[in-house]
Amino acid sequence: MDEPPKSPDLRTVNALERAEAVQRFLAEAARRARFSARARGAYQKSSFAERRGAKAMRIAFLVLAIVMVAIPNVVGGLYYGLLASDQYVAEAKFTVSSAAIPKLDGLGSVTGLPQMMIFQDSMIIIEYIESRTLVEQLERQVNLRELYGSDRIDWWARFKKSKPIEKFTDYWKKMATATISFPSGIVTLTVRAFSPADAKTIADKVIADCETLVNDLNERMRQDTVRASEQDVERAAERLKVARVNLERARNTEGLIDVRQTSKSQSEVLSAVQIELLKYQQEYLTQSRYVDESAPQMRVMKRRIESLEKQIAGLEREITSREQQGIDALASKTLSGKMTTFANLDLEHKIAETSYQIATASLDGARLFADRKLLYLHQIEAPALPEDARYPRRWLYTGLLLAGTLTLYGIVVGLIAFVRNHMA
């Protein structure tokens, strides 16, 4: 800091020098006076700007507090306290299970396949509950738009009736939920409405529509099962028809009835043995799908088939030998050829007839199985008339609104203060 100017010593100088010294002293004093005035002015101006900026920040923070905290909480408090309509919840619990659940073996106990089957059956119903198809069905049954779009419901919670079905489906997913608990497979249905009666009515209709869906699925599976067996019967019947026509044509055109009478006893025995062989072969083929070939009963059955095959071969040789021993070799040769043709046609007829009987029995079994319900909806807890409104949770929602607005306000104020200090 500069020292103040010193007074000149006028005792040792003449008049001219004294005048010059006084002039220099006055000029320095004037300069110092001007500098001090500018410094005081600058300081005063700087202090005023800072005070004005701080005041502006306080006003800005106050406005933010009003806009971000006060107004939302006042509006939310008025809405939840005075305007929000009560919402009642009807709840139901049920399971969807198959008619026969496979037993757990070693692999099933590890992978949990039966539980997965239960889960998949239940997921069909859950997807249906959240689908547009159910919403349209409920609109026809209980006028769902009117129940959720009534003027007695507050403007924020009610659905605008003029909106399209896609928006209504989204609204329905908020008002009705279905959850599944694993591994029990219990489905919990909750339906929200703006009166106890409406909540129960809608929940009852949802359960009824789910049961209808299960019945439709049963009918579809029944038709698929029976249709496949009916097609097998049709093919077997066509084969039997062709075999009969060929056999009758051969009898009429070739005179095989007389030929058959010629070696009647041998042919009857041969046909009986061939039919028995066919039955054993079919039984062996069926059992081999479930029983190991090294099992005792399979070995016995295989030996029986081999014995029948040898017996058939012997009978065929005997018939041919007897015919060849006749007086007229040519006639015997013709008889043997005709007998072979008839035997082939008769065997084809027997096979076709047996196949038709098996297909018919399979169709009867399929129909008997299809008459059973393959899926069941077991209702554990029926929808009850709610007595107390569960929504809206006024105190909870108001507290969450206050906490959220205060948190947001604190973040905004902190960011503003950080930027201001960084730019200072």
The encoded tokens of residue 35 equal 């500098």
**Whole-prediction pTM:** 0.55
The encoded tokens of residue 163 equal 């909106």
Q: CA distances (Å), 41 to each of 44, 45, 46, in order? A: 5, 6, 9
| pLDDT at residue 107 is higher than 50 | no
Residues 310-329: what's their mean pLDDT?
65
Give the whole-angstrom CA distance, residue 380 versus residue 239.
Answer: 52
pLDDT at residue 122 in the model: 83
Peptide bond into 383 cis (omega under 30): no
| pLDDT at residue 217 is higher than 50 | yes
Give the whole-angstrom CA distance, residue 69 versus residue 411.
Answer: 12
The candidate with the shortest Cα–Cα distance to 79, out of 408, 394, 403, 388, is 394
Give the whole-angstrom CA distance, residue 249 versus residue 251.
Answer: 5
198 or 305, greater pLDDT: 198
User: Domains in the chain, start-ordered, CATH in brackets?
Assistant: 87-221+376-387 (3.30.1890.10), 233-372 (no CATH)
Q: Which residues does residue 368 pair with via DSSP β-bridges, in sequence order?
A: none
The encoded tokens of residue 52 equal 């004005």
| pLDDT at residue 162 is higher than 90 | no
DSSP-derived 3-state class of residue 186: strand
Residues 175-179: what's their mean pLDDT?
92
* CA contacts within 13 A on the Cβ side of 250: 21
